[in-house]
Amino acid sequence: MLRIGIILGSTRPGRNGEAVARWVHELAVKRGDAEYEIVDLKDFDLGNLDEPEHPATGNYQYERTKRWSAKVASLDAFVIVTPEYNNSYPGALKNALDFLYSEWTNKAAGFVGYGVDGAPRAISHLRHVLGLLSVATVSNQVGLSIHTDFADGFQPAAAHEDRLNVVLDQVLSWGSALRPLRAA
């Protein structure tokens, strides 16, 4: 069974991402087709990229980096939950991606974005960066609007559940297809 990490990409106090990540997790677990877990960047306290050696070496000095490395390495694929801040994704998420290299290779990722208009620019930027890390990103995505899906607390429109299932289907397909490459 594949292990899918739902990466909570914001560490901002009062973030909406916690509710979104829980929603993704609850719907995903009901499917019974993979092991799903929420991976909250806040739990890793990465700080700014400060490892003395390049991430491609895999030689990490700090325990927090070793913990982060072990977590990402243990997963087959990801659903990244990201807000859109100033037309891109949060610095904490960029930093977390940059801390590692080979741990991301030959894995798949899908996206659930939230913001004024569903975080399309943040997701577009993530696709580019993840491509450089050899992560296959799936074509579908979920975009949640602050104006409609968060108007009175987090209450996503019903259609988003169908979109999320398509994203999860694609992440599972690609994660499975890439498994032989990860084994090599």
Domain count, the chain: 1
Angle between helices 17-31 and 159-177 (to 10 degrees): 70
Residue range of the domain that includes 151? 3-183
pLDDT digits 0-9 by tens, 39-98 = 999 999 998 999 999 999 999 999 999 999 999 999 999 999 999 999 999 999 999 999
Choose among 32, 41, 48: nearest CA to 5. 41
pTM for the predicted model, two decimal places: 0.97
pLDDT digits 0-9 by tens, 122-154 = 999 999 999 999 999 999 999 999 999 999 899
What CATH number is given to the structural domain containing 74?
A: 3.40.50.360
- Cα–Cα distance list, 163 to 27, 30, 107, 110, 132 (Å): 11, 15, 21, 11, 26
First to last CA, the chain: 18
The total of other beta-carbon atoms located within 10 Å of residue 71's CB is 17
